[in-house]
Amino acid sequence: FFYADLTCIAFCCFLFVSFCIDFFFFFFFKQKTAYEMLRSLVGSEMCIRDRYELLDKEEAGRRAAEDELAALLAASGSAGAAAKGIEDQSKEEQDALHALNNKLKGLQSELRRIHKQIQNTEGDLESENAQRAEVQERNAEIRGQLEVVTAARDELANELMGVAQGVHEVHGEAQYE
């Protein structure tokens, strides 16, 4: 829309300038007719009539120039309004961009905070895994010791059972005697 108005303004300016150039060359450099060359030889009535014709031509040219100028001013007014609209829209978009940029900075800060928290959590997780491995090693050692103690207990229990049976046999024999 804005470029169409600029094109229209440029075209109107071209027409106005070409009209002014044509007007200038028409009055100062046009080819003289026989009537114009001999008008000084005709009476004073012809000079007066020629003067009125010249004034009419000048008035017509002035009116055409004023109409062209009015058209150019109207076109530039609508182009100015369009430019103002585009300028306002650009300002709004810049404000929106600035707001988004601030939001992006906030999100980047939040992302850095979360990244640091993840790194801390990973460090804690590694520490916890190391502790878990230590506890599992200690549990394995304790199981090994428990198996040794259990084997010793079972051995002692068997010996005790053997002693108890021996006592029972001795007690049984003593009772029958």
Tell me the per-residue pLDDT of 142-154, one tens digit each, with 9 for 90 and over. 999 999 999 999 9
Q: How confident is the model at residue 50 (pLDDT cuts 50, 70, 90)?
A: low
pLDDT at 59 over 70: yes
3-class secondary-structure state, position 121: helix
- d(CA 86, CA 44) in angstroms, rounded, equals 62
pLDDT at 160 over 50: yes
Q: How confident is the model at residue 45 (pLDDT cuts 50, 70, 90)?
A: very low
pTM over 0.75: no
Q: What's the pLDDT at 177?
A: 56
Q: What's the pLDDT at 63?
A: 87
pLDDT at 169 over 60: yes
Q: In Å, what is the CA distance from 159 to each residue of 87, 156, 162, 167?
A: 105, 5, 5, 12
Average pLDDT, the chain: 77
Q: Which range in 18-22, 37-41, 152-156 is most confidently predicted, on average pLDDT?
A: 152-156
- How do residues 75-123 score in pLDDT, each as one tens digit? 766 666 766 777 888 889 999 999 999 999 999 999 999 999 999 999 9
Measuring CA to CA, which residue among 72, 69, 81 is closest to residue 2? 81
Measuring CA to CA, which residue among 20, 149, 35 is closest to residue 72? 20
Q: How confident is the model at residue 67 (pLDDT cuts 50, 70, 90)?
A: confident
pLDDT at 128 over 50: yes
